Structure 1
Amino acid sequence: MVTIASWNINSVRLRMPLVERLLREEAPDVLCLQEIKTVAELFPAAELAALGYEHQVVHGQKGYHGVATVSRIPLREVSRHDWQDNGEARHVGVELLGPQGQGMVVENVYVPAGGDIPDRTQNVKFGQKLDFLERMTRWADTVDRPTLIVGDFNIAPLESDVWSHKQLLKVVSHTPVEVEALARFQDAHGWADLGRQHIAAPQRYYSWWSYRSANWQTNDRGRRLDHMWASPELAAQATAHRVLEPARAWDRPSDHVPLVTEFTL
């Protein structure tokens, strides 16, 4: 059994107590973090190693973005793609080693949010997001081994992935052009959406609630922006998936919550 967790932590140094709580309560074998907002030299490596996560790969950046994968299983970095094509730290890929890891490849990605206007002619950031997805799709065509890709995709593709399909159709993260771009990425490798494999649509499934909502639990205006997708052969080995929604109510929380998937390799 191998357990993989993914979480947009929105500053790992600020929210290290929450990371510690997650690791103590859930004890995943691997944790993929997005938006760590720190350079590698300031990443809390010693604290994580003390918790048993001594195998670490960090692709950091000062103040913004950044991804990190930490593990109790030995691993090695296998890729670090610049799908944004501007040097931002938004991806790192690792291979899990040894008998427990079985060579599983885990890709950790933070897709750009895309700004506020869903039009590349008026909003450079939206164009960058679509171009990121296109580059990622070309990469997916080359994947030739069991692979898991996780992270903050910043797209909620299904109607039941948002609190109001009708009201969000023109809001970045749920527009038809983004949903279609993500569908092309999915088709490029036949990725299985593990969240919806285990929590079938149209069941409610959110992973993000805005800080702007005064009472996120009562209003429940969530979106499923975070995903865990697997190659078909690996998806067949996924035995459980859960969304740790209570983490949104922890002290000084991230606006995202962790996802956890268990595999029998």
Structure 2
Amino acid sequence: MFTLATWNINSVRLREGLVAKLMADEGPDVLCLQECKSPVDKIPVDTFQSLGYTHMVARGQKGYNGVAIISKLPLEEVGARDFATLGHARHVAARLPNGVVIHNCYVPAGGDIPDRTQNEKFGQKLDFLTEMRDHFFAERPMRSILVGDLNIAPREDDVWSHKALLKIVSHTPVEVEHLAQVQDAGDWVDVTRADIPQGLLYSWWSYRAADWDAADKGRRLDHIWATRDIAAAGHASRILRPCRGWEQPSDHVPVFASFDL
């Protein structure tokens, strides 16, 4: 068995201490970070290695984007893709010793206006998802896990108000449909919702709320998927809501799952 966590950390250097706290307190075997906002050579690997995380594959950019897979288990890098040719560090993949491939993805947020004719960033988001769909349809992945900040809350109970957010980027019908096409193309199973099928579930709360906890206007933007051939091995899914209340937190919290593989 191994335990995996995904977390949009919103600057790995600024929140190095929070990553170290999660590693020390929770000890996932594999931790996938998004929005690292750091070149790879500036990621504080010495701190992580001192906690037993001696392996890493990553793609980085100065002050923007960035994805990293940090692991206690050996990793074999299997590449990264520049979906939609944006020149962004938004995907990296690695293989574990048991042959399972982990894809760590950071889908573009998409700006504020859900109309590609008025908002270039929204068009880039849809194009990114379309290329993800086409890639996984062609690749037909097996024994694979896909995690990350996918920047879409697909279900009605993945947001605080379905009606209020229907025209808000991250929950619009066109985004939800694009994400569903990615999921179908790779025959991915939403492990979190397989484990926790009912009820409101969030992994992100805006910095704009004066009291994020009391307002509780969250969205489930962070996901763990597995290909159908191994999805039944996934269990023990949980979202660490208390991390949102840590000092100088990310606006996202870690999402966990364990796999008997």
Give the TM-score range, shorter chain.
over 0.9
TM-score w.r.t. length of structure 2: 0.98
**Cα deviations by residue, 1:177-236 (Å, 9 ceiling, x for unpaired):** 0000011111112210011111113x0100000000000111000000000010011111
2:167 is the alignment partner of 1:181? no
Q: Is the 8 A contact 2:191 2:235 kept in 1?
A: no
Once residues 4 and 17 of structure 2 are traced to their aligned partners in structure 1, the CA distance between those partners, rounded to angstroms, is 19
Moved over 6 A (4+): none
Which secondary structure state, in structure 1, belongs to the residue aligned with residue 249 of structure 2? Answer: coil
114, 123, 129: which one pairs with 1:127? 123
Once residues 207 and 23 of structure 2 are traced to their aligned partners in structure 1, the CA distance between those partners, rounded to angstroms, is 24
Partner of 2:245: 249
* Aligned-residue identity in percent: 57
Which secondary structure state, in structure 2, belongs to the residue aligned with residue 183 of structure 1? Answer: helix
Give aligned pairs, total. Answer: 260
Unaligned runs of 5+ in 2: none
- Post-superposition shift, 1:47? 1.0
Once residues 234 and 192 of structure 2 are traced to their aligned partners in structure 1, the CA distance between those partners, rounded to angstroms, is 10
Partner of 2:11: 11
159, 167, 170: which one pairs with 1:170? 167
232, 238, 242: which one pairs with 2:234? 238
2:147 is the alignment partner of 1:150? yes
Which secondary structure state, in structure 1, belongs to the residue aligned with residue 114 of structure 2? Answer: coil
Once residues 231 and 259 of structure 1 are traced to their aligned partners in structure 2, the CA distance between those partners, rounded to angstroms, is 18
- Post-superposition shift, 1:95? 0.2
- Post-superposition shift, 1:239? 2.2
Once residues 91 and 69 of structure 2 are traced to their aligned partners in structure 1, the CA distance between those partners, rounded to angstroms, is 10
Once residues 148 and 202 of structure 2 are traced to their aligned partners in structure 1, the CA distance between those partners, rounded to angstroms, is 14
The two structures, once aligned, show a CA RMSD in angstroms of: 0.7
TM-score w.r.t. length of structure 1: 0.97
